[in-house]
A and B are shown apart, each in its own frame.
Chain A
């Protein structure tokens, strides 16, 4: 094997997950053998490198796509998204020329600040934030190489926001009650979990809508401010106009780039959890003893959303 082939293998080994590595490298070996028999070793080597490059590219492309799709799931990424969006607004204003504080009028800052405080207060009032933050932390721990192990560890932990629905709770019910009663109680618990999930999701979705509303209100204030200064020289009017749209821009960015991805990720997480619980419930049906190994097989088969 040439050094280039070795490098190509290392590249796949580095990018691919454990399962993929086995599958992709096996396919490459098989292809190498087939081309070698048909067209000789030089052609096979060339083909190997070309295919290895295409495989690396396809894995990298898929990872990027999933990183974007799953963006904003953990707190670090949320903070990064928020910081980037604020930095983006500041850069936008800076490139427009002049100080950002000239463009962002104090009342616009006040509107955005009020929107954020309202967002935090509403969540706190509804008692949703501790659960949502815990879910986001948990979702953040689902990625990576050892995701199944982490997922299994997570399922074993009791969830303070949905007291029974995780593995231990479900198995405890299955051990304590007869099959029909256990099924009834687990089904009720899953329905409760779905309802709680919907409530939490509504808080985040409402927040995204509030950010858009905040953007619209800030825009209107900005326009009023502009109308008050129509007698100014044209370059100064330009500055005021930029101020009028900047807070709106910030509000839309906040809603679209930060809060909406959180909502969509939470939605996917809750759906996945509910499906896992259903799988668990079905796997327990009709058995005298709960068999965690079976249930983990069933769970593992459905764990594709966070790969």
Chain B
């Protein structure tokens, strides 16, 4: 545990070197990023880092007392594992403070090859109970687990009370509804998957068709949603599409909402959460700056024992399309 963290560690997305600097300047305790390839779960055009950029990013972060985590959190394809091994080696050489891993083979490799490099268990591993988390700790020496978004707040507390590693939880951003690391909806529809390609519903498969007074958003050949022409169209993610069951069209899995846990930060703190994760490496630098600034303000106020400041309202405004959810943190969500 770092001693300069007053309340909970704020872990922020750095999709690009510029976003990394923005996040750190706005008060991120930690940033996370990935390499420009399928070794990370945000493998989108125009994002991510090469080795030189990572080295510079680490220097910038360390000069300000911040940490850099490198997400190498996809599952290596058979026959291509060495590519993922090189990503771990590079993260270590660049001075990253930890790697975020999900694949068991990669955890094993990192532990043996770079024993002094901190290992965090990615949410993609979906470790959802004390036995699993203990297994990853005992076997691969993980220092932290990013909890899957399946637990209510009281369950998060109960789990943390029985585990011997730090807990990081998602606090804000655009997140799916399926258990992480085991969702094949994107590859079912497009052939490209979060698991090994590091993408969900990639933009090159998104298309829009006019249908009379309506606009249809499609992923590949599949209709994801239908809008009136003056309506805002959400990105056609499979777990936030509109489907018909028993003649009734609905957002069967989840409405196009964003996670915003700012209202329950004190409960998460009381539950023993070490770090809060902001999703959004694919978001603009301006978005990252706004969200990190607001969270910094909120966390500093809470650390001083003050009531929830106005910045919380800013986060409500920024949340996806103005619509937000507490997701699984709230029991009735199930």
* B partners with A: no
- Point out residues on B near A: beta carbons under 8 Å: none
